[in-house]
């Protein structure tokens, strides 16, 4: 279990630094944040936090996006390897690989057919482009390398997911 959790932390750092999720008017902000993070790495500075997008549920059952920031501390965890910036351990139970054919979910998008996540999880896009629409209508685009979290298990109004013009491969890292 600890190995899966460590992998999630590494993937989260990668996604936060190099991801490209797009929300309502958030594209320029994300590009600026990504460029700044990349510049800090080029200059040798360790990041002090990472961010990722999360689908969450409000008491009325509506789903929304928000950005989560996770603090990082610099530690040597595998001597003699150099120190790395990492988050606190987070529990994870199982992982699953999922492959979606091109245009999967487009009919659901067109007819606003929402579904719930079967479990709370982090999702890593390993290949392709997918979109997720929260029940409030906000839509985000996720591509290879991006990580996001879904917490909208039943009962909630859920979300809609659809694939782009090519198959999408994702890795689901489930919460306990």
**Would you place residue 112 in the very low, low, confident or very high pLDDT band (cuts 50, 70, 90)?**
very high
**Would you place residue 24 in the very low, low, confident or very high pLDDT band (cuts 50, 70, 90)?**
very low
State mean pLDDT over 153-172: 97
Q: Write out pLDDT tens, residues 51-106.
A: 999 999 999 999 999 999 999 999 999 999 999 999 999 999 999 999 999 999 99
Number of Cβ within a 10 Å radius of residue 104: 16
pLDDT at 4: 37
Q: How does DSSP classify residue 57?
A: E
9-36 burial: b if 16+ Cβ within 10 Å, else e: bebbbebbbebbbbbeebeeebeebbee
pTM > 0.85: yes or no: no
**Would you place residue 42 in the very low, low, confident or very high pLDDT band (cuts 50, 70, 90)?**
low
Domains in the chain (CATH in brackets) are 2-174 (2.60.120.10)
Rounded distance, CA 111 to CA 26, Å? Answer: 25
């Amino acid at each position: 279990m600890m190995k899966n959790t460590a992998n999630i932390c590494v993937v989260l750092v990668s996604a936060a630094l190099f991801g490209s999720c797009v929300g309502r008017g958030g594209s320029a902000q994300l590009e600026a944040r990504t460029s700044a993070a990349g510049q800090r790495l080029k200059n040798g500075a360790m990041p002090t936090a990472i961010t990722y997008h999360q689908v969450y549920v409000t008491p009325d059952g509506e789903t929304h996006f928000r950005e989560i920031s996770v603090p990082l501390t610099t530690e040597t965890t595998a001597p003699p390897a150099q120190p790395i910036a990492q988050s606190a351990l987070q529990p994870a139970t199982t992982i699953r690989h999922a492959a979606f054919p091109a245009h999967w979910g487009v009919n659901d998008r067109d007819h606003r057919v929402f579904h719930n996540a079967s479990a709370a999880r982090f999702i890593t896009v390993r290949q392709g482009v997918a979109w997720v629409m929260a029940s409030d209508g906000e839509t985000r685009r996720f591509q290879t390398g991006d990580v996001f979290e879904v917490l909208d298990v039943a009962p909630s109004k859920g979300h809609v997911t659809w694939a782009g013009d090519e198959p999408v491969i994702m890795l689901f890292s489930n919460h306990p």
